[in-house]
Amino acid sequence: DYLEKTRLSGETVSIQPKNVNVKGRDVIIIDDIISTGGTVAETISLLRKQGAHEVYAACVHPVLSNNAILKLFKAGVKGIIATDTIDKGVSVVSVAPVIASAMALTKRF
């Protein structure tokens, strides 16, 4: 399922809680980029208040600036999983095979 997110400005978002049945369940939040972690931290807090058992965050680009990792753990995240497009301590998924395959298909490299 999903939550309704509205970006009000470059740094401010509004997350509308939905009646998502997460009580006792493990939840994975998937986002393209986690920069400061504010949106994901707020989402984690909402899910924990709705009774989620464990909440994980996953992203493609882990910018993770301004103590974002600390913010996510304070919000209650169990773990953070990201690709290595930006090498961080949470980068556990390599995009190299996907890029190599795409390059091989183009036959330009």
What's residue 69's pLDDT? 98
Domain locations in the chain? 4-106
At 36-91, the pLDDT tens digits run: 999 999 999 999 999 999 999 999 999 999 999 999 999 999 999 999 999 999 99
What's residue 8's pLDDT? 78
Catalytic choice (5, 18, 49, 74): 5
- Model pTM? 0.84
| Active site annotation includes 88 | no
What's residue 106's pLDDT? 86
Determine contact, residues 72/57, Cβ cutoff 8 Å: yes
92-105: average pLDDT: 93
For 105, residues 6+ apart whose C-beta sits below 8 A from its C-beta are: none
Whether the per-residue pLDDT at 93 is higher than 80: the answer is yes
CATH architecture of structural domain 4-106: 3-Layer(aba) Sandwich (3.40)
H helical segments located in the chain: 38-49, 68-75, 96-106
C-alpha torsion angle, residues 39, 18, 29, 49 (rounded to 10):
80
